[in-house]
Each structure stands twice: as structure tokens, then as C-alpha cells.
Chains A and B, each alone.
Chain A
Amino acid sequence: MRKSNLNRRLFLIAPSVMIFTILFLIPISYFFVLSFWQVHAYRLQAGFTLDQYMKVFSDYLAPLGYTFMIAMTIALVTTTVAFTYAYFCRFKAGSLGTAFLFVALVTLFGGYLTKIYMWKIILGSNGVLNSAFEWLGIVTDPITVFLFSPFAVVITLTHYTLPFAILPIYGSLRGISDLPIEAARDIGATPQRVFFDIILPQARVGLISAFSVTFLFAAGDYVTPLLVGGPQTSMIGLFIQSQFGHRLNQPLGSAMSFTVIGMCVVTIVFMAMLIWRATRSAK
């Protein structure tokens, strides 16, 4: 009985395990091994060397740091906006909460590239924003710094990742029952205290997931900086892409990728701990 149950469960999870192994585990292991190899005259040479990682830290520290800053900004802005929106949907919008949530999710129908081009149209020299400013007489010459700037990258990626951040936060807020909130009010908690002591601690998991998803996405993205970022926004994704593309240096590309992954893991673990501690109701 026990055994057949176990077999059954194994059978049921087999497809997802297979997909995960074939599409994720094997390729990532391959690239991990590759990151310790070398390239000589455009040929891969097996071996074990930390040269690639040394090169990452000597030549690519600036884009790495820049990527970290941009991704951090995007993740913090997105998580904050997403929390505000999800909080509104759960606690303030009444029966319209689900409708508002649906509106946020509908934006997922607009594809990734569509949104990038949309922001190009809005922020460009002849874009919607500049036309509006000129029409209002605020400026005479179009503001060119909107597009092809870090600002454009942040706003575009924030817009794109927002629904992915709203969902986990809304999920955790939905899990908070009204009763403990009433109970807290009843024993003397002001609405502010209820927010910090009862709601926030129970929204932790959602906040951490939202931050992680957004940070990972922003740190790994290279299309947005390419299209709206301009020359100075050299995020690490662009360099990785070029190592695999025209430079044909897969070991260096792999080393850069694993450095980014490492940075993401460290950042997320650190931020998760920070969020966990910050949202703990005082003892």
C-alpha cells in the first residue's frame, strides 16, 4: 500500500523531473564545467583553470556592479509598487479587488518586446512624453535623456516585471484572514500597528518571492538595455551574450553567467534575511 503509493507519486512527478533535468540541470551543469575550460584559437580546451573567473573580476567588475545597481533599483521599486497595488486590491478595493488584479495581469498579454517598443515610443525624442511637454510649453527642445538611459531601463523593466511581483504578494495577502486583524484592532492596535505587526509579517514570503523574481529577471536581462539603454548602460547580460555570440568565448561567457548567478543568490539570500527581519513584529 505504502510502496504503491510512493511509486504512484514518483510516476506523477516524473514528467516535471525529466523536463527540469533535460532543460535545466544538464545544460547548466554543462556550462558550469565549461566555465573552467579555456579557448585557444577558437577551439575549446578541456581542463581546470580559474582564468575565466579572474578575467571576469579584472575586466567586467564595472558592468557587474552596474548590473547589480540597476537590478537592485528595479527590484526595490517593483516590489514596493507591487505591494502597494496588491495591498490596495486585497484590503481597500472591496469586491473590485479581483477586477483590479485582473487588470494588472491582463498587461501580461502585451509581449516583452511590445512593451520595450512601447516605452521607446513614449520616451523617444519625438515620443509621447516629449510631445506632451512641448504642447504644454514646458520645454522647447525635446528631452533626449529619457530614452537610452538607465532611467529607461528601470521604467521598462519595472513595467514588465510588475505583474510577476504583484501575484506572489497578492497571494500572501489573500492568505491573511480578517479575523486576526480585527482581533488586533480590538486589543488596542491602531491601523498602523496592524499593518506592521499583523499584515507585513504574514506577507513576507510574497515580498521575498516578488523581490527575487524581479531581481533575477532584471539582472539577467540584456534585450531591454540593448534597445532602450543606450551605450553607457552596459549591463552584464550584453557582455555575456557577446561572449557566446560573435566572440565565441563560451568559457568566459559561462564564468560571467555563474558570477551573475552567484551575485543573485547572495543578494537574494541577503535581502530575504533583511526583509524577514525588517517585517518581524517587535518582540
Chain B
Amino acid sequence: MLARLNSPSLKMPLSPQSTNPESTGSRVMADDGSGDQTRGSKLRGLPESRPLVELRKLAKHYGSITAVHALDLEIGRGEFLAILGPSGCGKTTLLRMISGFANPSAGTIRIAGEDVTRRGPHNRPTNMVFQGYGLFPHMTVAQNVAYGLRIAKRPRTEIVRRVDEAMALVHLESFRDRSVTQLSGGQAQRVALARALIMRPEVLLLDEPLAALDLKLRKAMQEELRSIHARTGGTFVFVTHDQEEAMGLATRICVMESGRVIQDGPPEAIYSFPRSRFVSTFIGEANIFAGQRSKSMVSLEIGPCFEDHGPDEDVVCVVRPEKMIIADAVDDASSLGCDAHLAGTLEDAVFLGPYVKYVVRLGDEGRVLVDSRDIELRHRVAVGGAVIVGWYLGDQRVFSDQ
């Protein structure tokens, strides 16, 4: 990987803005000299502070069904944004509106300062990597990649050079003259990526980019995508239902549920400070305890009480498995050294390398997951043996139970 980063391909800006701030807002590529009229878009220089993509009150209704509720979203230059949510949450509709394949019912889309709301996909400075790739089956790999430049009537020498660059970027140099019908899933994905990147889009849109790949390929492609994002300095927006994918790729995550963005922030913030029960369970694993809040005191059904300000209501308390602590039951509770503790029986222990995932049954109340670095515990306590689990107060998050 490092060797690749040092290769000459590093210096080729596939994205117009590349790394020099002067060209911000212009799709002209510095080393071209000719001005990139690929889409015939006339772009003015923009104030540095202006976000690259601005969605204002953007909504989509299908008859009486609302796929996307009026939402405001700004995407900055160079961001790698994940739109994350379960299927049917409106994330794909949102992506299709940005790309121009779906007409918004209301609201506006501005990209690089220009209102593109009513423009067709061929007139937007966005390019999409489709989930099913959508390669042209009657063309070779190189013809697929070159197609966009060819219809933009770029000079032949430039097409050849940029195709070479794009092929090098996705490591497909030796596949030029292959028919795309002979490619594996991962290779097809790279062709689709090259075909979109060669257009030097302001925004590269990816629809479930890794969904169709097997696990190993997915990991490799994830790394690849991050590296391409770093090398091109482009702005990438992708849609996924896979929280791990979102965590692994994005610099920022928008979590969507039923047509609304319910949380927006960097991956760490989304993970550590989820703002709702949905977000905390959708992203990462979570132990959930039901309880009531009364006079700023939360009492959980399984026992622990602690102070938490808020209205009197039914609540849920969420604790991440890695925030849970586990100990042998022979230790007395205080040796656990934490505030909330519960007795249970060990149901399973899965060794995962640096840590062990313990599954602990708490009477009839259910199970909790504990990710512990105490690898030896599984030798000291047999499955079915008694254990104590707990967490430090402050490591839990409390949400209204709706």
C-alpha cells in the first residue's frame, strides 16, 4: 500500500480540486490547461467557506408516502460522508435526488454554488457508482472507462492518458481489453469506480458500494476506497445499511430513519454519543435495560438506580459491551470496582483475539454482552458458572423509551 502511495499516480489529481485551494470551486484541472468542459458547466469561484453540496428543505413524496422528509444537509469539500440507515429509510432516494435520477418533490440542491435541482443526471457535476455497477456489456473495460470522456468529445490523446491514469488508480491496467462480462465482482466494481472517477466529479456518489462483495474483498475494497479518497482529495458520498462499512470508510455519518436524518456527526461521536435508542442499537452492539425515571432518579428493572436528569417517564439505559465489566462471582461485588453490578450466569465465551465476548444470562431478564480483555476468565469460570457484570455509572446512556 505504501509503495502504491509513493507511485507517480499519487501526483495525478483525478478530482479537479486536487489539493490546491486556488482551484476550489472550479472544475478546471490544473494540468490540463484546456479547462474541463466535460459537462459544459460554468462554475464561478466560490468562497472557501461555502459547502460543496447544500440541500435545502429537500423532500420526496411518492403519492401519499413520504420517502424523505424535508431535510437540510451540507457536505463540505473533501468529506467522505456515509448515509447510513436500514432499508427503506430513504437513503437511496436521497442519493438519487443528489445524482439527478429522482426529482425532488420540494427543496433545492446546490452543488458548487450552482442550483442543479432541475438538471438531469447528465448535467450535474456528480457521478455515481451504481450498486449493480451498470457496466456497458457491449464494451471492453477501457471503452467503459473512456465512454464519459468520449461523449464529452475530449481530444483522443487526453482520453488515452486519463484512461491510463484511471486504470492505474484502480489497479486494472492489465484488464484494458477484457470484456466487462468476464470480470469478477471486485473487478467490475473497480471499473465502475474508474468510469465515474475519470469524469472528475465534484461529488462521487456510491450506492452500497461494497454490498455485493464477499467479506474479504469488502475489506480490501474498503481500504482501496479510503486510499483513493485520500489520493484524489475528492468528495465522496455513499449510502449503506452496514454500520461497519460506514464506520470503516466515512469521516462523517448521517444516520437516517424513516426519511429523516436523526443524527449527523463523525463516526466516533455517533458511536460514543448516540442520541437515540435507534442509533445506539443500529450502530455497534448495545445492552439495553428497561427502567423508569422518577424525580431525576432512574431505576432499572434489573436493579441498579442512578441519578439522571429528565422528565418522569419510561426509559431505556444503553451500555456498550466494551463498557461492561465482568468478574468471577467469588469476588465480592465491590471487587468489581464499579457502581452498577448484576449477578448472572456465563452462557458463552467467544475468543476474538484481543478480547473475549462473554454472553451472560441475567435470570429471566435476558442476556448481556460483555467485551472483556480478561481473557483468562473463561478458563476460571465454566459455562453455566456464576459471574458478576457491571459498568461505571456515566458509561451508560439513557433514552426515553418510545
Q: A179-B132, A187-B196 are in contact. Are A202 and B138 (CB under 8 A)?
A: yes
A223 to chain B, nearest CB (A): 40
B44 contacts partner chain A, Cβ-Cβ < 8 Å: no
A283 contacts partner chain B, Cβ-Cβ < 8 Å: yes
A23 contacts partner chain B, Cβ-Cβ < 8 Å: no
Contact B133 A185 (CB under 8 A): no
* B122 CB contacts on chain A under 8 angstroms: 185-190
Stretch in contact with the other chain, from B13-21, B147-155, B340-348: B147-155
Contact B38 A183 (CB under 8 A): no
Contact A183 B128 (CB under 8 A): yes
For B128, give the chain A residue with the smallest CB separation.
A186
Contact A185 B136 (CB under 8 A): no
Contact B150 A182 (CB under 8 A): no
B36 to chain A, nearest CB (A): 12
Contact B151 A193 (CB under 8 A): yes
B39 contacts partner chain A, Cβ-Cβ < 8 Å: yes
Expressed in whole angstroms, the Cα–Cα distance for A198 and B137 within the complex equals 9
Expressed in whole angstroms, the Cα–Cα distance for A281 and B192 within the complex equals 19
Contact A179 B138 (CB under 8 A): no
Contact A180 B121 (CB under 8 A): no
For B120, give the chain A residue with the smallest CB separation.
A185
Contact A188 B137 (CB under 8 A): no
A6 contacts partner chain B, Cβ-Cβ < 8 Å: no
Q: Majority SS of interface residues in chain A?
A: helix
B98 to chain A, nearest CB (A): 11
* A283 CB contacts on chain B under 8 angstroms: 143
* B147 CB contacts on chain A under 8 angstroms: 184, 187, 189, 197
Q: For residues 91 through 126 of chain B, which have their beta carbon under 8 Å from a beta carbon of chain A?
A: 99-101, 120-122, 126
Q: A186-B99, A188-B39, A189-B122 are in contact. Are A179 and B151 (CB under 8 A)?
A: no
Q: For residues 73 through 104 of chain B, which have their beta carbon under 8 Å from a beta carbon of chain A?
A: 99-101
* A197 CB contacts on chain B under 8 angstroms: 136, 147, 151
* A7 CB contacts on chain B under 8 angstroms: none
B181 to chain A, nearest CB (A): 12
**Residue B195 contacts which of A182, A187, A190, A193 (CB distance < 8 angstroms)?**
A187
* A114 CB contacts on chain B under 8 angstroms: none
Expressed in whole angstroms, the Cα–Cα distance for A199 and B266 within the complex equals 43
A282 contacts partner chain B, Cβ-Cβ < 8 Å: yes
A95 contacts partner chain B, Cβ-Cβ < 8 Å: no
Contact A183 B143 (CB under 8 A): no
Contact A188 B152 (CB under 8 A): yes
B135 contacts partner chain A, Cβ-Cβ < 8 Å: yes
Expressed in whole angstroms, the Cα–Cα distance for A201 and B143 within the complex equals 14
Contact B130 A188 (CB under 8 A): no
* B135 CB contacts on chain A under 8 angstroms: 180, 183
Centre residue among B121, B128, B195, B199 by max chain A CB count within 10 A: B121
By size class, the interface of chain B is 20 to 34
Expressed in whole angstroms, the Cα–Cα distance for A183 and B122 within the complex equals 10
B139 contacts partner chain A, Cβ-Cβ < 8 Å: yes
* B199 CB contacts on chain A under 8 angstroms: 187-188
Centre residue among A177, A179, A187, A282 by max chain B CB count within 10 A: A187
B134 contacts partner chain A, Cβ-Cβ < 8 Å: yes
For A176, give the chain B residue with the smallest CB separation.
B137
Contact B137 A202 (CB under 8 A): yes
Centre residue among A177, A180, A184, A198 by max chain B CB count within 10 A: A180
Q: For residues 161 through 179 of chain A, which have their beta carbon under 8 Å from a beta carbon of chain B?
A: 177, 179
Contact B137 A179 (CB under 8 A): no
Q: A187-B127, A188-B151 are in contact. Are A281 and B99 (CB under 8 A)?
A: no
Contact B138 A187 (CB under 8 A): no
Per-position 1/0 for A188-209, Cβ under 8 A of B: 1110010001100110000000
* B148 CB contacts on chain A under 8 angstroms: 187-188
Contact B121 A186 (CB under 8 A): yes
A189 to chain B, nearest CB (A): 5
B238 to chain A, nearest CB (A): 15
A143 to chain B, nearest CB (A): 47
The 6 closest A-B pairs by CB, nearest first: A179-B134, A183-B134, A187-B148, A201-B138, A180-B134, A185-B121
Interface residues of A (CB under 8 A from B): 177, 179-190, 193, 197-198, 201-202, 281-283
**Other A-B pairs beyond A185-B122, A189-B151, A198-B136, 14, CB < 8 Å:** A179-B133, A180-B137, A181-B134, A184-B136, A185-B121, A187-B127, A187-B147, A187-B148, A187-B195, A187-B196, A188-B122, A188-B148, A188-B151, A189-B122
Interface residues of B (CB under 8 A from A): 38-39, 99-101, 120-122, 126-128, 130, 132-139, 143, 147-148, 150-152, 192, 195-196, 199
Q: List 30 A-B contacts (CB under 8 A).
A: A177-B134, A179-B132, A180-B134, A180-B135, A180-B136, A182-B134, A183-B192, A183-B195, A184-B136, A185-B101, A185-B121, A186-B121, A186-B126, A186-B127, A186-B130, A186-B196, A187-B147, A187-B151, A187-B196, A188-B122, A188-B148, A188-B151, A188-B152, A188-B199, A189-B122, A190-B122, A197-B147, A198-B136, A202-B138, A281-B139
